[in-house]
Structure 1
């Protein structure tokens, strides 16, 4: 059976299409790498990439991504509607099939050491790879954002896990870790009032006493200047998408606002969408093997496996 690991790097550039195009072409050229998805976001000025391949291929592609991004991106000029601390802001390893979370923790630790040694930038470990309890949640690391990074690096309690504790103005720092599959999406609101969006964030995000496993930030769309929420769910099985969306709708109604639309960020597990479909269609007794494509692939995989 095949073992599948993904890497989901987030780089702080979402407006320079030429650079992202060059970067993705170079990543595709790495032997054994499959580029699953590229999601550029002009409002957040951020691009999320999804890669899969062997351990060796992911490490090679990851080092290439850092090299190209650190040459191109100058954090002193970066602006975007999202918390960040560095040019390559976050680089998580995610177990997808027949791989344990501990496997990805070991990958994150080895890769973080390589990045720190090669590029001489501060590296923080997060998620399941965190060595310090309050660094487990990525929002705890980048709550000060790039603008507060220089002061934080002077605090002994925030010494990086790898690399120097020196502020690099052009590149900032980076966060590397291991986590389970994440569901990320944007919710567009029919209001231009930032106070409304921030109030909804406080009701939804776990750090403010909201839903468990949920991270949320408010921002403004560049085109229509309406408010949007960027939401991430760390465990969609315990806190499904529909629960988040319904709470946002409920809170928005308090201010005479509503939800215009939802847009996915990156890839999403099949089960996450099906659970929402089951909820809104009020379907009982449904299981994944009732999906025709899923059923066919399961049988095909069985036949391939037993041919060995």
Structure 2
């Protein structure tokens, strides 16, 4: 089982070290562990057997949640919770059916909500028909938009936690999280290109299933077109980056956030990645 929890803390000086220690204590394979001060976010990714993955997640919760207070949190990345989104991805080696995996994720969601008193919204394959299933819709308006409102929680309280907000959790298919990094002075162009991709994602096969936003990162003096390739078997990172360049973008590098399957690398040769980010299908 693979999990890629995203946490709303990227400025604590020891956050990466603390997260790595928490994951290592559970015995999982660590694929990714990077904080970003502009986004004020750390993305973790790890895999292992179901007991190890569950243990790693709760170790991380005990370690990172006390560091986070969304009432004072600022950052470039959209967020609705301290543990903002927690996807699980079933791998072929797990020997589980999708039905078993869905039950596994629901058990974790229930335990998390009860332990930390944070409402959980199930998304993607786990969503039960009670609310939207896609992350952008569930997270629209961020933490501030849900204050004082009832939440159609699948687990936990029906109001957001005062410091930790709401967590989105569920089983999903593999995706690629990619940042095309541009000079900071090209932020307006990045914004325009991200909008074009969003508007064309249903009609243009090059952009099928791609979610895109633009961000400005002043600490790093760059801007980004941040993209989630939700249908990586049907789209090409290389082709999209070539399109960005053809529209005037000066692409400095193409970051992979999280993990990649080996089968995605042929169409993603422009990606900047490390060997540990490659995961089993």
Relative to the length of structure 1, the TM-score reads 0.79
CA RMSD of aligned residues (A): 2.2
What residue is the counterpart of 1:161 in the other structure? 154
CA contact (8 A) 1:197 1:228 kept: yes
C-alpha separation in 1, matches of 2:158 and 2:87: 21
Whole-Å separation in 2 of the counterparts to 1:133 and 1:116: 17
Indicate conservation of the 8 Å contact 1:182/1:234, yes or no.
Answer: yes
| TM-aligned CA distance change 1:60 to 1:276, over 3 Å | closer
SS of match in other structure, 1:70: helix
Kindly state the Cα deviation for residue 68 of structure 1 after the two structures are TM-superposed.
2.1
Asked if structure 1 preserves the Cα contact closer than 8 Å seen for 2:31 and 2:258, the reply is no
Deviations 1:203-262 (A, max 9, x none): 1136875622211121112335332111111121112212322332233x2xxx432221
- Which of 166, 173, 176 does residue 173 from structure 1 map onto? 166
- CA separation in 2, counterparts of 1:198 and 1:169? 32
The one of 237, 257, 266 equivalent to 2:258 is 266
**Is the CA contact (8 Å cut-off) linking 2:102 and 2:171 kept in structure 1?**
yes
Contact 1:182 1:235 in 2 (8 A): yes
Please give the alpha-carbon distance, in whole angstroms, between the structure 2 residues aligned to 1:15 and 1:266.
19
Contact 2:175/2:229 (8 A) holds in 1:
yes
- Segments ≥4 residues shifted beyond 4 Å: 206-210
| 8 Å CA contact retained: 2:180, 2:254 | yes
Task: Check if 1:102 corresponds to 2:94.
Answer: no
Contact 1:101/1:128 (8 A) holds in 2: no
Q: Tell me if the contact between 1:206 and 1:214 (Cα under 8 Å) persists in the aligned partners.
A: no
> In the alignment, is the contact (CA less than 8 A) between 1:207 and 1:215 conserved in 2?
no
Within a 5 Å distance, the mapping from 1:229-240 to structure 2 comes to: 229-240=225-236
- Aligned residue pairs total 265
CA contact (8 A) 2:181 2:225 kept: yes
Is the contact made by 2:232 and 2:264 (CA closer than 8 Å) also made in structure 1?
A: yes
For structure 1, the residue ranges without an aligned partner over 5 or more in a row are: 279-308
Alignment of 1:118 with 2:109, yes or no, is: no
Matched, 1:148 2:148: no
Q: Which has the higher helix share?
A: 1
Distance 1:111 1:225 in 2: 39
Alignment of 1:211-226 (within 5 A): 211-223=207-219, 225-226=221-222
1:27, distance to aligned residue in structure 2 (A): 2.2
Unmatched 5+ stretches in structure 2? 271-281
Is the CA contact 1:204–1:244 (under 8 Å) kept in the aligned structure 2? no
| 2:53 maps to 1:58 | yes
Partner of 1:283: none
Is the radius of gyration larger for structure 1 or structure 2? Answer: 1
Contact 2:39 2:77 in 1 (8 A): yes
